Amino acid sequence: MRASPLLLAIWLIPVVSAADLVNGEFDEDLSGWSLPPGIVSAAWDPLDVDGALGSGSARLTNSGSGGNTGGGLEQCLAIVPGASYTVGGAAFIPTRQSGAGTATLLAIVRDGADCTGSFLANLGTRSVNSRFESGLWVSVSNTDVAPAGARSVLIQTRVTKFEAPSTFTAHFDGVFVLPEPATGTLQPTALLALLVLAVRSRH
């Protein structure tokens, strides 16, 4: 049977597995993000990765009493297993701090909704290390595929400090999670349209 142009068009609709990150630019505040109780504090700061007036970044400070400890702002997103995602952003580590540490964008994938369930993978970026990359904005990104069973991903702007006692501060800006389009995959709406067309073709 010859496939109709409409059926072919439906089949080739790009599938975008949306992961709608909120306020990754930190234009005015930290809305859309949560900060679990712990050793890290967070505040909005006018320092912006593009130097834009009226915009800013998230400033995180780790003041924990121990070394090799961390935490940060978090946001939970729904994802689709088998889909490819690019996680990225920029980090700035001020110079002349009392302690050294890293700034890392984590993307913790879990098999439960709302970032619950078992850990499956980390799709996050490499760490920015204050010992080698301080005093400048460093852009990082990573593209990877969500593993089988994935339902959600926890994005965290994590600051980890090495020494105790000390404090360690880092800024994050331009954080993003971009789903990569895929073709030849049917979404439920496209499948329903195919069924309707199949029924109509019999009449």
What is the per-residue pLDDT across 55-74, written as a single tens digit (0 to 9) for each?
Answer: 999 999 999 888 888 999 99
Task: Identify the bridge partners of residue 107 per DSSP, sorted by sequence position.
Answer: 155
Segments of 46-196 assigned E as strands:
57-62, 69-78, 84-92, 101-110, 119-122, 128-129, 137-145, 152-161, 168-179
Tokens representing residue 65 in the block: 């009493």
Find tokens 């204050």 and name the residue: 130
The answer to whether the beta carbons of residues 178 and 17 sit under 8 Å apart is no
**Residue 19 to residue 75: CA distance in whole angstroms:** 11
Rounded alpha-carbon distances, angstroms, from residue 176 to 24, 56, 58, 156, 203? 6, 15, 14, 11, 48
Rounded alpha-carbon distances, angstroms, from residue 197 to 13, 186, 190, 200? 16, 15, 11, 5
Q: Does domain 17-180 have CATH number 2.60.120.260?
A: yes
So what's the pLDDT on residue 99? 87
Tokens representing residue 175 in the block: 């954080």
The answer to whether the beta carbons of residues 23 and 137 sit under 8 Å apart is no
Least confident range from 28-42, 122-136, 175-189: namely 175-189
How is the chain split into domains, by residue range? 1-15+183-203, 17-180
Element at 45 (helix H, strand E) = strand 40-45
Non-local (6+) Cβ contacts of 142 within 8 A are 86, 87, 88, 107, 123, 124, 125, 126
Q: Would you place residue 20 in the very low, low, confident or very high pLDDT band (cuts 50, 70, 90)?
A: confident
Q: Would you place residue 202 in the very low, low, confident or very high pLDDT band (cuts 50, 70, 90)?
A: low
So what's the pLDDT on residue 192? 46
Average pLDDT over residues 115-123: 96
Q: Would you place residue 191 in the very low, low, confident or very high pLDDT band (cuts 50, 70, 90)?
A: very low
More confident residue, 19 or 144: 144
